[in-house]
Structure 1
């Protein structure tokens, strides 16, 4: 199995197959614009800009599961990300990252990372690094700054 088996709804309400990212190094992040870690949007965008020409992409999945820190509509989330943080990487419609309504992609990601940081997503800005074959390589804690992922990303590029 890989991330390529999954589809997700983009922030502008279009179904997108993750197979479209085949051959890319992918960083999947659950995001929230009202979270105390929201400045990581800047670091995620910097990573995307630095490596996008090498087939690296960040995929943002907003979630409102942690203290109501993403209460807005998809349109509001998109606007906030663009205006406040200059986000140009792809964003998806809000998802549940845990629980009975958990998006199937996050079920797969959490199952694949059942080690030390594994299990349920504990907070916003949990990061999953995916290799060019669609396999989960590493999971990073919410407080891990995007700039600290450079070495891991460069190994996959």
Structure 2
């Protein structure tokens, strides 16, 4: 013990770990009684702690943006067919009315239009890529079906 530190005992919590509350211990006892100590220990080693902040939404915003871009393009084509002077602006206003309607707490329409225009540029290119890939896959499938009929 000349200048050497003693190894930390396992039954004593580290300085940076919180002490277990009585309700936490009760839950742990119930889990150990139900599943066994080895299963609870294995499951605890696989648990990833939650990060602070809002949980991610995955690919949902990506697909929502593509769907909105597709809908706005359809509305723009319809307004253009009717001969309106600003079909994109009218299509964005239609999207705003569709999303917010008579909601008393709705956003400022000009801010919404700016945000949507930014989203549209990215989402449109993604949508065009998806359509191109789908068309190619469809063409490959039709060629295979054609070969099967010939043989």
Which of structures 1 and 2 has the bigger CA Rg?
Answer: 2
Q: Which structure: greater helix fraction?
A: 2
TM-score in terms of structure 1 length: 0.23
Q: Which structure: greater strand fraction?
A: 1
TM-score in terms of structure 2 length: 0.23
